[in-house]
Structures are given as structure tokens and as C-alpha cells.
Amino acid sequence: MDCCNISHQIDIPEGARKVVLAGNPNVGKSIFFNSFTGVYVDVSNFPGTTLDISSGKFRDYVIIDTPGVYGVSSFNDEEIVARDAIASADLVVNVIDAVHLERDLFLTQQIIDMGIPTIVAINMMDEAKKNGLQINIDRLSEELGVPVIPTIAPKGEGLDKVKNSLHLAEIGNSSIKLTKELEEITKKSTNKAEAVLIMEGDPHVIAKNNVEVIDYREQVYLDRRERVNNIIDRVVTETTDSTSFSTKLGRLMLKPLTGIPMLLGALYLLYEFVGVFIAQTVVGITEETIFIETYEPFIRGIVENFIPESSFIGQILIGEFGILTMSVTYTLGLLLPLVVGFYLFLSVLEDSGYLPRIAALVDRLLTSIGLNGRAVIPMILGFGCVTMATITTRMLGSKRERIIAVFLLGLAIPCSAQIGVIVGLIAPLGVKYLIIYAITIFIVYVLSGTILNKILPGESTDLLIDLPPLRIPRIGNVLRKTYMKSISFIKEAGPIFIIGAIAITLLQYSGILVAIQNAVEPITVGWLGLPKETATAFIMGIVRRDFGAAGLSSLTMTADQTIVSLVTITLFVPCIAAMIIMLKERSKTEAVTIWISSWVIAFITGGILYRVLSLFA
Amino acid sequence: MNCNTTEGVRICSQCNNKIKDPNLIRCPRCNNILLKKCSECKGCSIFKKMG
């Protein structure tokens, strides 16, 4: 494969020197590029990829922008493009983030090792100062052996100095200890830059230079990392006051004695915000007023001009579970406010630095049920919506933990819509029944997790997380994260609700729904001691958990029967949306096993609770 | 590193670097914290054994 020369893709005037802008993702390279080149920019496609390369002129130079990369290699298209640009550069302007030197300096050192004249622009110096980082710029320049210029690119500070310093670019101090090996390889290759890439085992560069395959990558990387860490030790000082309020608060959050009450307080705030304000007040307006009372009559009116509601197609479109009625109302009227509210709260926890502290606090507890502290995030999300929480289990460290988390989410975590209805039904019965409900669910949760932990082979992954400094959440960050996560969720889950709506309409229209109700009567009446009609609520719970719980409210039941039915419906199968996500996230066998297990556990627990309550009746 | 895959390699979730040394806590390239064990150990699923 032809590599290592960007000149094929970009028009370089004779005599012009190639200046490549390189750096990690999100360091602000675009601002530098725009500052250098102004409005007149050429965009060329890099062959074999979907990536475009931007280039422009600045004085006698051609400025070439590259994708943000962590290193120069052939790991992915972005790194291949960056590699070819950097390897053929006359000089490199390497933009680094002052807050993340330990991450960014690896690329800097790699470019220096490749023997390419470099200038380093150390950007976001204002952020570094806010984070209590003091960087000795002169010492950094001395260690690297290249000019280092501090900048705050969004404010334009330092950009002119970078532009006027291009002629000062230097070949810096190498970190490569395998000097003999490098010498040998350089003799056989085009230049030093490619020799370094050959040492690191880059297959394209090896093929281009027609040399034997060698791979010192691991050793070279370790030596480079050691050098970068040494440099950082010498040039960076943290000036954060260890007695500051945020530092003390951060410590209190980690200790169980103070951390747990704080966590309970945060969960209470979450309940008040999402469970009360959003789920009741806001959803009362969006679902009821806007969608059920205004939108649905409107859309039914339009569709009925062409298709009668009583027909099969009419039922699919605008029936009780219609895709234009229930699906839209459910997605936009009910779920969207809940999702936005929940992600808003979660983004605040994340941006403030509190979330990783929660994970550290609950790690020991979660380890006993086969998870680690990271699982607290999907568990908290599950109280919002189990479907969305199931998607988040991707972040967990091993397949084993993902299975346990998905199982517990589907089994024992009621979603906010369901919680709203459950609280509404239990409240009139008194605190005693609330305690019975909470304890029963908690016991099932811990027992199931413990059993799964014992029978699934392997162990939990250790919790290793960075604890960022605590800070007041930035509104821009919070809103941006909330927006992106909410949109992503609606795109994933929206089509699933449509499928669910079609499925339940088919069951209802064909009469299978009624047949199922009759078939399960021995369980609902005989085993659980409930009225026969609760079967309908359970079947509705398969589509919508809150609908299932709400179905119970119209039945006349004793206090004991109410609790038995609520415990059973909480533990009952996940809703169709959550099931479809489970099928996507886990294998079919695992998802079906989880589904069947929740049936069994729900009814066994309900039956046992009925008999225990009967003993005390 | 407890792993029974044939390669015994961890892949950094941030930069896709492959790490063979089981003692490394952070990726040498991007400094991201690595999971201690191989992310997709074939021995970790009871369902795989049943299958």
C-alpha cells in the first residue's frame, strides 16, 4: 500500500513548505487552522476512507489539518491519514491540551521521535489554571527540545506567536532507547520517520519499505510513556488547596458514614425531580393535555377520513395501541420528558464529578452481587427507564457483569412511570405496606444478584476510575450532554415502541389476548390469590409497565392483594421495549432466559408473599 | 490477568491500542485506565457452556 506521503492528495506549490497541524481529538486544532488559513480552504478526500483533508495557504507554507488522533499508527483511518501527513511534513505544529498533558504528550513525543521539526502549542492554559495546574513552559520546552508556546485559542491568545514562530521549529529529544535497532532500520528505510514506524510494527510502512516484519511497539511505547511521565513530574505542579471546600466535600462523599446519607439525599432529589415533578406535573401536561386530549383526537380525525378505526389497519394506526396514537403519545408525551429529565440529572452528577464518587462509594456493596461500582449508573438510570438503562450496561467491564446488570434491571428495578403508579396505589394503604413492598423487592434483588454471582463463572472486574475534581456543573456541558443522550435514546427506542404497539394490537384483534387471560387464571387466582382480571394488567405490563400497574388501580382488592399484585408486577417481565433492547444487547438465549426467569421469580415471590401475609391476616 | 482467550490481549477503549502486558493499569499511549481483565473472556458466560 502506498503510504506516508500526503502530497499525492494535496496540491503543494513548488517551494512551499508543508506544515501539518496534529494533536489529540478536541484540543482546538480547527481554531489554529482557521487562524492560519482564513476563508480559503481546499478539501480533498483521502482515498480509501470517508475522511477529508483540509489544507490552505499561509505565507510560503501549505497548512494541512489532520484528524484528532492519540498516536501515529495504522489502527484506524484517522491515524492512517495523520500518519501520512506527519511522515511527509516539513514541520509539525502539535496542539496539546494543557489539562491533559499525560494523554497528549505521547503523540508529541512520537512526532519528536520520528525526527520531524516540531513546535508545540499548549492550548487551554486558562482551563489548566482553573484546575489548579501550574506548568513550567520553559522547562517543558527544555525537556522536549522544541519550542513550546502557551495559547488560549478560543480567545485568540498566543495564535499570532505560533504563526510567527514556524521558522523556530526544532527536531527535539528522542525517547527511543533501542538506538542500535533504530540505526539498522533507518539504513533500510526511506527516512527516520518511517524507520520509527517500522520499529512500531506499522504493516503499511513495513510493506512500503519492503523490510522484514519486526515489532518493538510495546517496548517503544513503554519507553515513550516513561519519558512522558518523567517530563510531567518535572514540569507540572498541582496548586489545588487540599483544605479547600470542594476537596473536603469530595472526601466526605467517599466515606460511608457521610457518603451514604449524601447519596440518599441525592436519590431523594432525583425522585422529587423526575418521579414527582417530571413524571407527574410535566407528563401530566405533555401526555394528557397535549397528546391524549389534543393530538390523538386530531390524528384520529384525519385518518378516519380514509380508514375506519374499527378496521384492522385502522386499529394498527389509530387503535388503542395504534402506532400513530399510543406509540407517539408514549414516545413523545411520556418518555421524552422522563428521558430528558433523567439525563439532565445524570449530566449534572457527571459534570460535577459526583458520579464517579458514587461508583466508588457503592462498589463494595455491588461487588457482593457480582457487579462493581460502575454498575450504579445503569441501576440509577433504571429507575428512570429500564430500556435506557439496559443500553448503558455496555459500559460495564465484562460480559458477566453486563448479564447480571441486565437481569437485575429487568427483574427488580421499577421504572419511573411504574413507580409513579405504584406509589399512588400504596400511599393510601399506609407506611407498613410501603415497607413490605420495598423490603420484598430489595430481598429479591440482592438474592438474585448473589445467586448469579455464584453460578456465573469468572469474577467482577475491579473498579479503577479517575476521580475528577469536584466543581459546579457547567450549564453548556450539561445541556449538550442531555440533548445528545436524549436524541440517541429516542432514535434507538422509538422504532421499538412502534413494533410493540403493532404486536399488542395483533394480539388484541385476533382474540389471543383474551385466550391468554383465561389460560393464566389458575396462577392469578389459585396461586396469587388475586382477582381473575389482574391477568389483563400483567399482559398490559408486558407492553408498558406503568400501564400494567395502572390496570390494577381499577380493580377492587384488599390491601394484601394490592401489595401482592404490585410486587408481582414489579418483578414481572420487562416491557417489550426493554426486551427488544435486551435482545440487541445480549444474545437471544440470554435475553429469553432472563425473560422466562422473571416470570418464574415474579410469580413465586408473589405466591410466597400472599401466603406469608395470610399467616398474619 | 485472568483470561482464557488465545490472545490474552486487552484493547484500550479510548485509542484502540492493544496491550499484552497484564500488569499495566493505564494504556501507555493515551493514559486511559484499562480494565484489569480481558473484556470479552470466553469463559465468563454460563450460556456459552450450556450451548
Q: Name the residue of chain A whose CA is nearest to B19's CA.
A: A218
Q: How far apart are CA A82 and CA A49, in angstroms?
A: 12
Nearest residue to A4 via CA among A80, A93, A90, A94:
A80
Q: Cβ of B51: how many Cβ atoms within 10 Å?
A: 8
A170 has pLDDT over 90: yes
Lowest mean pLDDT among A168-177, A203-212, A483-492: A483-492
Band of pLDDT at residue A226, cut at 50, 70 and 90: very high
For A572-605, how does the pLDDT look when each residue is reduced to its tens digit (9 = 90+)?
Answer: 888 877 888 888 778 888 888 888 999 899 999 9
Q: Which positions of A make up the binding site for Mg(2+)?
A: 34-35, 37-38
Query: What type of residue sits at position A388?
Result: M
pLDDT in tens, A316-347: 899 877 889 877 887 788 778 877 887 888 88
Query: Could you tell me if A232 and A347 lie in one domain?
Result: no
Here the ipTM equals 0.77
pLDDT at position A568 over 70:
yes
Q: Per-residue confidence at A6, pLDDT binned at 50, 70, 90?
A: low
Q: Dump pLDDT digits (tens) for A429-440.
A: 888 888 899 899
Which of A70, A76, A455 is nearest residue B30 as measured by Cβ atoms? Answer: A70
pLDDT band of A493, cuts 50, 70, 90: low
Over residues B1-51, the pLDDT tens digits come to 444 455 667 778 788 888 888 778 889 999 988 766 554 544 443 334 333
Read off the pLDDT of residues A338-372 as tens digits, 9 standing for 90 and up. 778 878 888 898 888 898 888 888 887 787 777 77
Q: How far is A370 from chain B (nearest CA, A)?
A: 12
Whether residue A285 is found in the same domain as residue A161: no
Could you tell me if A572 and A525 lie in one domain?
yes
- Statement to judge: residues A345 and A200 lie in one domain: no
Same domain flag for A515 and A373: yes
The partner residue sitting opposite A398, judged by closest CB among B17, B28, B44, is B44
Asked whether residue A171 is domain-assigned, the answer is yes
Of A147 and A30, more confident: A147
Confidence class for position A194, pLDDT limits 50, 70, 90: very high
Judged by CB atoms closer than 8 Å, whether chains meet at B20 and A465 is answered as: no
State mean pLDDT over A561-578. Answer: 87
Range of the domain at A177: 17-242
* CB-CB under 8 Å, A462 with B44: no
Residue pairs spanning A and B at CB distance below 8 A? 84
Q: Is residue A1 part of a domain?
A: no
Same domain, A291 and A217: no
> Do B28 and A399 lie within an 8 Å CB cutoff?
no
Continuous H helices in A245-398:
245-254, 256-270, 283, 296-304, 312-318, 326-328, 336-352, 354-367, 376-382, 386-392
CA-CA distance, A101 to A208, in Å (whole number)? 33
* In A420-538, beta strands by DSSP E: none
How many angstroms separate the CA atoms of A264 and A362, rounded? 12
Find how far residue A376's CA is from the centre of its chain.
13
- A424 and A355 within one domain: yes
pLDDT band at A240 (very low <50, low <70, confident <90, very high): low
Question: pLDDT digits over A397-430, tens only?
Answer: 677 888 889 999 988 888 866 776 777 778 778 8
Q: What does the pLDDT look like over A12-45, one tens digit per residue? A: 777 789 999 999 988 888 889 989 987 656 666 6
Q: Average model confidence (pLDDT) for chain A?
A: 85
| A589 interaction partners in chain B (CB closer than 8 Å) | 47, 50-51
Whether B15 sits inside 8 A of A221 (CB atoms) is: no
Does residue A572 lie within any of the structural domains? yes
Is A286 a residue whose pLDDT tops 70? yes
Shared-domain flag, residues A349 and A237: no
Report whether pLDDT(A500) > 80.
Answer: no
- A105 falls within a domain: yes
Contacts with B39 from chain A: Cβ below 8 Å:
397-398
pLDDT of residue B44: 40
Q: What is the pTM of this model?
A: 0.66
Residue from the list A221, A403, A464 with its beta carbon closest to the beta carbon of B36: A464
Residue A518 has pLDDT above 70, yes or no: yes
Instruction: Render A104-132 in DSSP notation, one character per residue.
Output: HHHHHHHHHHTT--EEEEEE-HHHHHHTT
Identify all chain A residues contacting B33, using CB atoms and an 8 Å cutoff. 464-466
Looking at CA atoms only, how far is residue A601 from chain B in angstroms? 19
Percent of chain A predicted with pLDDT > 90: 34
Q: What average pLDDT does this structure show over A68-78?
A: 87
- Per-window interface: B 5-44 vs A, CB < 8 A: 14-17, 20-21, 25, 28-37, 39-41, 43-44
Mean pLDDT lowest for which of A73-77, A466-470, A551-555, B30-34? Answer: A551-555
A416 inside domain = yes
Q: Are residues A85 and A209 in the same domain?
A: yes
The answer to whether residue A440 sits within a structural domain is: yes
A279 and A229 within one domain: no
Residue with cell 477503549: B13
CATH number of the domain encompassing residue A149: 3.40.50.300
Tally Cβ neighbours within 10 Å of residue A342: 28
Looking at the fold, whether A351 and A226 belong to one and the same domain comes out as no
3-state DSSP assignment of residue A244: coil
Q: Which of A72-81, A545-554, B36-45 has the lowest mean pLDDT?
A: B36-45
Q: Give A46's pLDDT tier (boundaries 50, 70, 90).
A: low
* Chain A residues whose beta carbon lies within 8 Å of the beta carbon of residue B15: 70-71, 75
Last residue of a domain, one of A176, A207, A242: A242
Give the closest-approach CA distance of B10 to chain A in angstroms: 11
Residue A403 contacts residue B45 (beta carbons within 8 Å): yes
Rg, Å, chain A Cα set: 30
Judged by CB atoms closer than 8 Å, whether chains meet at B29 and A225 is answered as: yes
Among residues A195, A219, A242, the one where a domain terminates is A242
pLDDT at A102: 94
| Structure confidence at residue A546 (pLDDT) | 67
Q: In chain B, which residue's Cα lies nearest the Cα of A221?
A: B28
Asked if A398 lies within 8 A of B29 by C-beta distance, the reply is no
Mean pLDDT in residue range A166-185: 94
Mutation test of the interface with chain A: which of B1, B17, B21, choosing the one with the most A Cβ atoms within 10 A?
B17
Binding residues of A: 23-30, 34-35, 37-38, 48-52, 65-68, 123-126
Residue A111, in any domain of the structure? yes
pLDDT attached to residue A580: 80
Residue A7, in any domain of the structure: no
pLDDT of residue A287: 84
Number of domains, chain A: 2
Minimum CA–CA partner of B46 in chain A: A456
> Where is the domain boundary, A242, A266, A296?
A242
Greater pLDDT, A520 or A228: A228
Co-location of A62 and A188 in the same domain: yes
